[in-house]
Structure 1
C-alpha cells in the first residue's frame, strides 16, 4: 500500500509539473506572438484627466519631462486648435462618446437635477456611443479607467452596460444597497470581478491600469479589430494614494511637495503610454492602429495644486470649469504609423468630431443626429470640411452663476457666464489669451454669438439654466 501511495504521489507531482510547463510555454508564446493582419484598423483613444494645454514639452512645457509624448508629437499630427467637449470631466466625456455637443446632451455637468436631488446624471440609453457604433462594423471594444458617465447604483449605466465588451473601471458613491463603494476597487465587467488597487505595489494608478490594457491586447479576439478607450487618472489632483518616487528629487527643497507629485505623475503617465506603444510594436499591431491622445478639459487647480506653477494652461486664460480657452483647449496628438504624416494642424476641431472620425475609419455611417464632423481628411492631409461654429456649455450647481456658455466661429470667441448677463467677445487671432473684451466695438458679432448660444442650448429638465440665461 505504501508503494502504491508513493507511486500515486509521483504521478500527481509529474502531472502538476507538466501543467506548469504547459502554462509556462503558453505564457512565453503569449508574450511573443504576433497579431493577425486585419483589413480594418484598430483604434485607440488615450485620455488624460485634467491635462492642460501647456503640460507637454511639445506644447511649450519647459520643466515637466514628457519625452515619449513629445517624440510622438514629432512623428504624428499635433493639433494646435483642438478642444475638449467642455471644461469638466463628465459632460466632456459624454461629448467624446456621443458625437454631440453639451447643448444637445443629457449630461452637462458633473451633477444635475435628478430624482429631487443634485447628483450624477447618467447618459441616456438612447444616446448611442462609440463602442455601440463600432460593434456594427465588427469591432470588439475595451474601456479601462475612469468612466464617469453612469451612476453607482445602476450597473447598466457602467461601461460594460454601454457596449464595451471588456471594461475595468473605478466607481465611487453608494451602490444600490446604500453601501459606500471603495474608489480604489476596480470593477471588471461591472461586478463580474473586482480588483483592489494597492498603491504600494505600483508607481501610480495608471501603471495598475496599463497592466490591464497590456493583458487585454494579448487576450482579445485575434480575428476582430479592436477599439481601446484608455482613460487615465493623471494628472487629476485627487490621486490620494501614491507610492514614494524619486522623480524631480532635486527639486524637493525648491518645490512644494504637491507640485513635485504633479510633475512626477505626468512623467509617469508618459512612461505608461510608452509601455502601451511598446506592446503594440511587439505584437506587430502598431502600423494598423490609429491612436489619438488628448485630455478631457483644461488643467486642474485643486487639492492645493496651482495650475500657474508650471504654466499648465500654456498662458491661456482660465482652467478646469472655465469656458475660456484655458478650460477647453487641450493637447491632441494623432498617430498612425506610415499613414499620418508628421506635422502640425491648426484646424479647429473638438471632442464631438471623434465619433464620426472613428466611424469613417471603420467604414460605417455615423448617426445622423450628431454635431461632429469627421476629421479623417485632416489626418490624411486631404481637404477638410469645417464647422460653422464650435459650442460649449457647463452647469456647475443649480445657480445661474454656475451656468457658462461659449462658442467659437472663425477667429471670434464668445464667452457668457450666466450671472453676468453679458456676452464677451475676443478676437483669437489678435488676442489668444482673451485679455480684451471687444463686445462694445462689435455689436453685430455679439448678436451672432447670442443667436448661437440661444439656439444650441436645448432645454433639459436636469439642467435648470439650459436654454441660456438672457434678460427678457
Structure 2
C-alpha cells in the first residue's frame, strides 16, 4: 500500500506548490520520475562549474544552469559506506551498525550490511507505486538479505564492493575470495560477465532503463564508481587493477587520467539526460546530482583543506545540483546548507511519499528552497568518524581532529586556518554542547 503522508510533509508540499505557482512555475501534474546521480570520491571543485581549471564538464555545467547549484552541500560522511547508508535510509549513518563502517570491507565480515527490515527511499517509493532501479555501486553488504533487491529495488546492475577495476570488474574486496580479488559485477542476485569500461556500462544501462515502456513513474538511482580509484580512463585497459588498503589511495593515476575519467562520466550523464529528453520525460523528472564524499589525490578542493577521510571541509563539502524544469527556476545558486539525507527527504516529499513512522528522517525537504518558496535558513549538521567529530551551524563549525578542538568561521575562513575557540568561547561551548547532545542519541563508536 502507498505510504501515508504526514501532516508536516503535506503542509510543506502544499506551501512549496503554492509558492511555485506564484513565481510562475507550475505545479507538476503527476508524480515526478526521480533520477538521483551519485559520483564516487568527487571533490567539491572537480566540476568546471565549481572551479576545476584543467578540464571541462559541459553536461553537468549545463545541468547546473538549468536548475539550482548548492554551494554549501555536504556528504554525511567523509567515506563511502556511511554516506550511502545515510542516503538510502534518510538518517544519520551513526544510527545503524553498517553506517559505522569506514568503509565496509572484507575485513568487516559478510554478516554486516543494511538491515533488510529497515525502510529505504527505494522501498518507500516502491510502496507508493514507483518502478525502482539501482545501477552502479552498492557498498552496503554482500549477502542477498543486505543487497539492493531486498531494499526496494526492482532491478540492480552494478558492483557490491567499494571499488572495482573499470575493465576487468575485479574488486579487491569481493566477498569470499581468498586471493583478495574477484569479479564483482551483478545483475540482481546473479554474478555476470560483461565486457566494457564500467562507467560506460552504467551509463548505457541507465539509458536502457529510462527508455523502457512503463505505466508507472520511475526512481532510478545511478551510482557511478567514477572517479574512485583505480584511476583508469577509457583508454587505459592495459594499466590493470591497482590494489589499495583502508587509507588514502597512493598508487597510480595522473591528472590526465583523472580528467579522462571525469569527462567520460560527464559524457555518460549527457547520454542519460538525452534519453529523458527523447522519452519526453525531461519536464516531469526530478534530477539530483552530488558526491558521496570529498575527493582524493587528483581532486581540486580549493579553497578547502584536506580530503576524503577527514572532517575538514575538503573531506565532506561536495557539489550538488538539482533540476526540475518548470518547478525549480533555472540558473540559481544557493548557500543553503544541505547534507546527504536531505536528498532522501526531498525525493520522498516531491513524490508524495511519507517516511515510515518508526524511522523518522534526519534529512529535510529542500524543495521549497529550490523553488524559492523558502529563504535560506540556518540549521545544525553533525558528523562523526572513529577519530573525528564536527558540527556546523550557520557560519560556525566545530571540529575535533587528532584530539584537538577548533572553532572556525566559514563565512570568512572556508579553508579553516584560524581557530576562534578562545576569542569566541561562548560559541565554541554552545557548538560542542549541541554536538554532545546529538552524539548521545547515536550508536557508540566501534571498539578497537
Tell me which interval the TM-score lies in, with the shorter structure as reference length.
0.7 to 0.9
Aligned counterpart for 2:395 among listed residues 393, 399, 411: 411
Equivalent runs, 1:71-470 vs 2, <5 Å? 71-106=62-97, 107-111=99-103, 118-119=108-109, 121-150=112-141, 152=142, 154-172=143-161, 173=173, 175=175, 184-191=183-190, 194-198=191-195, 202=196, 204-219=197-212, 222-239=214-231, 242-244=234-236, 258-301=254-297, 306-307=298-299, 312-342=300-330, 343-368=332-357, 369-383=360-374, 386=377, 388-395=379-386, 403-417=387-401, 419-420=402-403, 422-457=404-439, 458=441, 460=443, 463-464=446-447
Aligned pair in 2 of structure 1 residues 190, 196: CA closer, same or farther (>3 Å)? Answer: same
List alignment gaps of at least 5 residues for structure 1: 1-36, 246-255, 396-402, 466-472
Aligned pair in 2 of structure 1 residues 318, 181: CA closer, same or farther (>3 Å)? Answer: closer
Aligned pair in 2 of structure 1 residues 243, 118: CA closer, same or farther (>3 Å)? Answer: same
**TM-score (structure 1 length as normaliser):** 0.77
* Match of residue 21 from structure 1: none
SS in 2 for 1:63: coil
**TM-score (structure 2 length as normaliser):** 0.81
Cα shift at 1:218: 2.6
Aligned pair in 2 of structure 1 residues 392, 314: CA closer, same or farther (>3 Å)? Answer: same
2: CA distance, partners of 1:81 / 1:238: 28
Please say if residues 82 and 349 of structure 1, whose CA atoms lie closer than 8 Å, have aligned partners that are also in contact: yes
Please say if residues 68 and 321 of structure 2, whose CA atoms lie closer than 8 Å, have aligned partners that are also in contact: yes
1: CA distance, partners of 2:180 / 2:229: 20
1: CA distance, partners of 2:49 / 2:119: 34
1: CA distance, partners of 2:319 / 2:268: 18
Deviations 1:319-354 (A, max 9, x none): 101111111110011111222112111111111111
2: CA distance, partners of 1:112 / 1:75: 36
Aligned pair in 2 of structure 1 residues 459, 82: CA closer, same or farther (>3 Å)? Answer: closer
Cα shift at 1:97: 1.2
Aligned pair in 2 of structure 1 residues 234, 118: CA closer, same or farther (>3 Å)? Answer: closer
Cα shift at 1:243: 3.0
How many residues are aligned here? 390
Cα shift at 1:55: 0.8
* Match of residue 14 from structure 2: none
Mark the structure with the bigger radius of gyration.
1
List alignment gaps of at least 5 residues for structure 2: 1-27, 162-172, 238-251
